[in-house]
């Protein structure tokens, strides 16, 4: 692997395959075969990332227990794995003035950024539900600002059902900071032109 991007891409692929190996239904022989084939070819990566996946899930589980959701009774736990291997977790923090409520994903992201981390690999999201729950639109946008290709693994812990997405699938046509910079560049160019 020569570039950080290529390494990150490889990590994502490793996690996807680890996910399939863990969660593919027995009837899905194609996924299980693919996972087994990949595992034997990349045993070291597989073991490393499977262990890492478990660690991130544990962090999200701790956060879920600390969720402050007295109004919605909808606790959420999130944990972000960074490219440097560190893990930062967050829970939802509700407020009597509902609009001020913080989502678990954004609390986790804030913890990571406050500790100097801005490049993420994986978000694990746990909810006390039967089925997995995807991040809300606001969190998708904020996460996209940092890692457009973030891998998101959501789990409804009551039945252990999971879903896996890349953020680009959940936010296919995102607003981007590039749009702001482009506008800024054009306005300063126009200003310079006028001054001439």
- How many whole angstroms separate alpha carbon 113 and alpha carbon 98? 25
Outline where DSSP puts E strands in the chain.
76-82, 87-91, 120-127, 151-156, 161-166
Query: From the CB of 164, what's the least distance to Zn ion, in Å?
Result: 18
102 DSSP 8-state letter: B
Secondary structure class of 196 (helix, strand, coil) = coil
Using the minimum distance from each CB to Zn ion, give the nearer residue, 18 or 171: 171
Q: Report the alpha-carbon distance of residue 50 to residue 42 in Å, rounded.
A: 12
- Least Å from the CB of residue 137 to Zn ion: 8
* Angle, vertex CA 128, rays to CA 126 and CA 31, nearest 5: 50
Residue 105: active-site member: yes
Closest to Zn ion by CB, 80 or 103: 103
- The CB-nearest residue to Zn ion is 103
Name the minimum Å distance from CB 165 to Zn ion: 15
- 29 vs 72 by CB, closer to Zn ion: 72
Which candidate in 105, 155, 182, 196 is catalytic?
105
Q: What residues line the site for Zn ion (CB under 5 A)? A: 103, 136, 139
- Active site (catalytic) residues: 105
């Amino acid at each position: 692997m020569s570039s950080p991007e290529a390494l990150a891409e490889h990590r994502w692929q490793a996690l996807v395959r680890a996910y399939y190996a863990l969660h593919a239904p027995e009837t899905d022989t194609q996924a299980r075969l693919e996972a087994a084939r990949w595992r034997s070819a990349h045993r070291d990566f597989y073991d490393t990332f499977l262990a890492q996946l478990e660690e991130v899930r544990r962090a999200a589980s701790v956060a879920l227990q600390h969720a402050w959701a007295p109004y919605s009774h909808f606790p959420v736990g999130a944990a972000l794995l960074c490219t440097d291997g560190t893990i930062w977790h967050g829970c939802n923090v509700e407020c009597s003035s509902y609009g001020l409520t913080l989502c678990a994903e954004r609390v986790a992201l804030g913890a990571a950024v406050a500790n100097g981390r801005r490049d993420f690999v994986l978000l694990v999201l746990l909810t006390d539900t039967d089925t997995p729950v995807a991040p809300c639109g606001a969190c998708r946008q904020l996460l996209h600002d940092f890692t457009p290709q973030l891998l998101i693994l959501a789990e409804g812990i009551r039945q252990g059902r999971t879903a896996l997405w890349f953020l680009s699938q959940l936010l296919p046509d995102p607003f981007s900071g590039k749009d702001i910079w482009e506008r800024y560049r054009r306005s300063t160019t126009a200003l310079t032109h006028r001054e001439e």
